[in-house]
Structure 1
Amino acid sequence: MPTIPPERARHSGQEPPRRRQAGESFGADAERYDRARPRYPEVMVDRIVGGSPGPDVLDVGCGTGIAARQFQAAGCRVLGVDIDARMADLARRSGVEAEVAAFEAWDPAGRAFDAVVAGQTWHWVDAVAGAAKAAQVLRPGGRLAVFWNAFQLPPEVADAFSAACRRVLPDSPFDLQAMTRQPLDGYQVLCTRAADGIREAGGFSGPEEWRFAWEWSYTRDAWLDQMPTLGALTRLPSDELAEVLEAVGAAIDAKGGSFTMRYATVVVTAMRIDAV
C-alpha cells in the first residue's frame, strides 16, 4: 500500500513561500471567487463519474464548492477538504460538507471513496504525498482525477494584462507569459508533475491525460470581476490591482466591451489498482 513519507505528510513545502501564500489567499474574497470563477465541462464530470465504481467523491481543495456542486448534480455524495476555513464555510453554506485541513495531513477517519478529485488546486498539494493519500482513501477501482481550466485570452487583452502585470508585479513568482499567452504550456508542467507524482506514489494504473475544449463569453465587467481571484493577483494592494484592471478593461472596451474566452480543461487521471 502506498505510504506517505513523514517529511511529506506535512503541508507541502515544495512551493516558494510567496507562491504558497498566494495559494492560501483565495478566501479573502470567497464570495467573489464562488461567483466569478468558471465551472467545469459537464462532459468531464460525467466521464469521471462514469469511470468510478460508485458515487462517493472526495474533493481536494474544494474551495467554495464549485466542482463539488457539479458532482452533486451528477448524483454523487461529496465531501470537501480545504485548507482555508473561509472557503470551506462558504462551501458548507452552499450545501457541500467540507472539512478544514491540508490534504496531506487530513485524517480520513476510516472513510473510503470511489473518486478523489481536485479542481484547480493540485499544484498546491505535494504531488507524491497527495497521490499516496488519495490511494489510501480510494476503494479498489477508484479514480483520482485532478484538473485545471486553462484559458486563452484574445491577444489584445492578453497583451494588456501581461504589460500591466509586468509593471506592478516585476518579481511575481508566477509565469505571466504562460498565463496570458501560452496557457497550455504552463498547465502541461502541472500535468507532468501530477503524473510523475502518481507514478512515484504507486498503487495506480498509468496516468492518462484528458482534454476538453470549450468557450465562454465575457462582458467587460464579468471578466474584471473574475480577475482578482487569479493567483497572481489575490494579494495585490488595491491601487496596483486597480491599475491592472483599468488596463485590461480598456483593452476589452476597444474590442466592443466583450470577448469570447477559449478554455481547455486538462485532466490527469489514474485508477486505483490494488486493494487498500
Structure 2
Amino acid sequence: MPTLPPQPHQKRDMAESFGIDPALYDRARPRYPDALVNTIVAAAPGPDILDVGCGTGISSRQFQAAGCHVLGVDVDERMAAYARSTGVTVEVSPFESWDAAGRTFDALVAGMTWHWIDPAIGAEKAADVLRPGGTFAVFWYVLQPPSDLGAAFAAAYDDVLPSNPQTAAAPQTAYQQIIDRIAGNLTATGAFTNLQRPTFDWTREYTRDEWLDQLRTSGLAKPLADAGKLDTVLTRTAAAIDAVGGAFTLDSSAVALTATRG
C-alpha cells in the first residue's frame, strides 16, 4: 500500500485536499477499532476530548458514542461543516494557531491526522491544552491487503508515480517513523510521561467499489489526479480485485502513540 511522505506536515496543500467530497470521505474511510477507542477513554481522567484534525467527525462520533464530550478542530471548513451536520462541534483553524481560549481537556486525540501537524509545535500545544494526567493519543490505521493484491496495487502506483516517496516504504515502517518523530517531540517538551505504542488488529471485507472509494479519499489521490493518472490507477486496481472475485478480506491494524501529561 502507498504510504505517507517523510515530512507530511510540510505538504499542507495535500492536507487540505481531503474536503473536496466530504460525504465520500466519511463513507469510504474506515472506522477505528472499538478496542482503541475504549482504551483511550479508560486512560483519560475525564470525558472532555479534543479531536485534532477531526475531518468529517469519524473518530469524534466514536468517542461521543463512548460517552465523551468532544470538540473538534479542523483546518477545512468543508469537512467541519459535514461533521457539524452529524452532531459534532467543530472549530476551524490549523491546530498550531488554534486559540484554545483557556480551555483544557482530559484527552487529545488525532485519527489519521497528526502527521499533518508540525510535530514540534503540536507537542507544545498538546502540553498546553491537556489537563494534568490527561491522555495524548494519536493513531492511524495501516491498510494491509493480501500479499497478491498488495503487489498488484503497488505495481499500479509505481508505474504511474515511480519517483513518489509515498510509494517507497512499507506502511508499518512509514508510520513507525512518524511515531518515532512524534515521540521525540513529546519527550523534548518535558511534559509527557508513560509513552506507549499499542496496536489494535481489525478486519473487514472490501468490495471492489468500496476499495476504489477508499482510494479516492487517500493521500495519493491528489498527486495521482495532478499527474492525470488517477483513472488509470483506479482501473488497474479494479481489475486486480475483479481477478480475485470482486472482493477481499483486509486483515489490518491500527497503530497508536499514547502518553500522559505530567
Contact kept, 8 Å, 2:107 with 2:135, in 1: the verdict is yes
In the TM superposition, what whole-angstrom CA distance separates every residue of 1:210-245 from its partner, at most 9, and x where no partner exists?
100111110111111111111011343385211101
40, 62, 81: which is aligned to 1:48?
Answer: 40
**3-state secondary structure, aligned to 2:197:** strand
Which amino acid is the alignment partner of residue 187 of structure 1?
Y
Check conservation: 2:15, 2:116, Cα contact below 8 A.
yes
Task: Say if 2:243 is the partner of 1:254.
Answer: yes
| Corresponding residue for residue 81 of structure 1 | 73
Mapped partners of 1:145, 1:110: distance in 2: 21
Q: Counterpart of 2:176?
A: 188
TM-score, normalised to structure 1, is 0.88
Measured in 2, the distance between the counterparts of 1:202 and 1:69 equals 32
Query: Cα distance 1:20–1:133, how it changes in 2: closer, same or farther (>3 A)?
Result: same
Aligned counterpart, 2:216: 228
Counterpart pick for 1:215 among 203, 207, 214: 203
TM-score normalised according to structure 2 size = 0.93
CA contact (8 A) 1:132 1:202 kept: no
> How far did residue 201 of structure 1 move?
1.8
Contact 2:9 2:115 survives alignment (8 Å): no
Between Structure 1 and Structure 2, how many residues are aligned? 255
The amino acid across from 1:252 in the alignment is I
- 1:8 maps to what in 2? none
Report what 1:163 is aligned to. 155
Which SS does the other structure have where 2:192 is aligned? coil
**What is aligned with 2:139?**
147
1:116 corresponding residue in structure 2: 108
Q: 1:16 to 1:193 in 2, by over 3 A?
A: closer
Which residues of structure 2 form unaligned runs of 5+?
Answer: 1-6
Q: Secondary structure at the match of 2:259?
A: strand
- Give the Cα separation in 2 of the matches to 1:255 and 1:193: 38
Offset of residue 200 of structure 1: 1.1
Aligned to 1:9: none
Question: Is the counterpart of residue 21 in structure 1 residue 25 in structure 2?
Answer: no
Secondary structure of the residue aligned to 2:181 is helix
Runs of 4 or more consecutive aligned structure 1 residues displaced over 6 Å after TM superposition: none
CA RMSD of aligned residues (A): 1.5
Q: Which runs of 5+ in 1 are unaligned?
A: 1-13
Decide whether aligned partners of structure 1 residues 109 and 36 sit closer, same or farther in structure 2, where only a CA change above 3 A counts.
same
Mapped contact 1:157–1:251 kept (Cα < 8 A): yes
Distance of 2:161 and 2:15 partners within structure 1: 17
Amino acid at match of 2:233: V
Q: Is the 8 A contact 1:172 1:232 kept in 2?
A: no
Shift of 1:158: 1.6
1:93-141 deviation per Cα after TM superposition (whole angstroms, max 9, x unaligned): 1110001111111000111100000000011111121111111111111
Which residue matches 1:5?
none
Are positions 1:33 and 2:25 aligned together?
yes
For 2:201, give the aligned amino acid: A
Pair 1:126 & 2:115 matched: no
Task: Tell me the alpha carbon deviations over residues 60-79 of structure 1, each in whole angstroms, 9 at most, x when there is no partner.
Answer: 00000000000000000000
Deviations 1:157-198 (A, max 9, x none): 222222221222234241x143xxx22111111111111111
Name the CA distance, whole Å, in 2 between partners of 1:27 and 1:44.
25
**Aligned sequence identity (%):** 53
**Maintained 8 Å contact 1:112/1:137:** yes
Question: Separation in 2 of the partners of 1:55 and 1:21?
Answer: 33
Counterpart for residue 197 of structure 1:
185
AA aligned opposite 1:260: T
